[in-house]
Chain A
Amino acid sequence: MKSTALLEAQAVKAYYSTRQGYIKAVDNIDLTIDKNMTLGVAGESGCGKSTLMNTLMMNVKPPLHLMEGTIVLDGKVISKMSRYELKNNVWGVLVSLVPQSALNALMPTKRIIDFITDVIHHHTDVSISEITSRAKKRFEELNLPGDSLSMYPHELSGGMKQRAIIAVSTLLNPRLLIVDEPTSALDVSTQKQVLKMLMDLRKTSIIESMIFVTHDIAILRQVADWITIMYAGKIAESGPTEYVLFEPKHPYTVSLTSAVVTPEPEVRERGLASIPGEPPNLLDPPEGCRFYPRCTKSMSICRSVEPPLVKSEGAQLVACHIASGDG
């Protein structure tokens, strides 16, 4: 494993087993998260980004199976660990995941502090008073009102709940934090508060690295150093934010970045791009490049040979025959 890497995933395949066969949600993916990095993972519905997040932290149970591949986190091969080991030594301790709609996980009959003590007790033998004081301290560090700990979920706004949940996920000081669509249900001003909090977590080194999953590329523009674009279970392009967003190499990335709708004059000038068709069925994906059926620039090789993820002309990696100059 590279010395600068915090997490390394190699040749990872995670499939869902169904009666009709395997849904190849994550298909042969290599991904590296460096120390001190905020990685943005973007893609549309069905691209596999949420499945990938669960797989990266080995939260894998049927019908999801890790078919192949290794995942090394902080030097430990977590893809070989048992669920017991993961619960005690990895989850919450090395890596924490705040899933989509985590807001709904809060039981309406428990106060926030009770929720926290429940969760932490699961992992360690730390005493309740110790947990409470740690929680108070962490909340203060993150500018969350201390009295929110003794409140019930319905007494808190959506934004407060989300920030509280994120704060709780950092209590055992994991090195890597994964957040999946943390702001999609929030209004714009609350969203900015939550994003600022996530940035603060990195700035104050409470969290070493972060993966931010979203379909909203404009958010990633603001928070991510590195961006990975996923399409149909594979990585299409991956590299420094400025390069991927403003000098995209993969035709899908080009379309995606041309479909961003923000209130800026550039958007009006450029117009909104649209791609015809739909992503492929992952039960039986096409042989060659998965974007081939919808691509306007394809060559004949694209139909039969899957493009590997390689270095492009720019600073990023891209999985495209045209961009990498084949044929």
Chain B
Amino acid sequence: MIKDLLRIKKLDASLAIFIGLILTSVFGSMLYATTPLAVVGPAEQPPSVEFPLGTDSWGRDLLALLLAGTKNSFRIGVTAALIALTIGVVIGVTAGFKGGIIDSALMLVTDVVLVLPSILLMMLIAAYFKERNPLYVSIIIGVTGWPWVARAIRSQMMSLKSREFMYLSKMAGIRDVRIIVEDLLPNMASYIVMAFVLLMSGAMIAEAGLSMIGLGVTKGVSLGIILYWAQILESVRRGMWWWFGPPGAVLVSLAASLLLMSTALDEYFSPRLKGG
């Protein structure tokens, strides 16, 4: 199956872009000598040989900032996605499998969280914490992003539950939890992978959004933080394209490549969409 997946052009291209950007940021931030937050040169310089992406209003190297920022955005994105995925899958599986009152109760909770404006929720939680490290930010994003996953997994679970192959396991006296893990989850694996990809994309953008209103990480740097500084120092009006351009482009590329990946995966796993 992996071989078949790698033959899809869309998947190859998007995977290449995404992994390329991430690896560059990870190794780049390790190899590039300049410390991101250090003041190393004259302020507001356009790109040059010494500073390939120029400097910001404090004289910090924007390339160093971009590399470190991408790496951190990715870390927060992955962690937030994992948190949201876990919550969504556990709730979706339980609600779909058990049904009845448990299902109704869990769906009520899901709907409430779904309906609450996530930005507001994130703002409230973020404002509560004076010190915000990457993990806190991941948690904030993760606990607001899971409802659609829970609903989708629940539907999948409900349809799988009535498939006959469940019966053989049930009649072997296997406990429900084991049936879910051995029989049902593997049949949902493709969907869970797609959900994870989409969650990552959403999380990275959410992180940027939080940071741009000043509620991102309090220490350190991320793509959103760079954009935040770029914005409050009016880099757009003042034409400092080297400040807001690259981080914006990287953020869009990351999100777009993830979305493309999920479309490609979706087409592969649901042949009907291919135009049949």
Judge A-B direct contact (beta carbons within 8 Å).
Answer: no
Task: Mark B residues whose CB is within 8 Å of A.
Answer: none
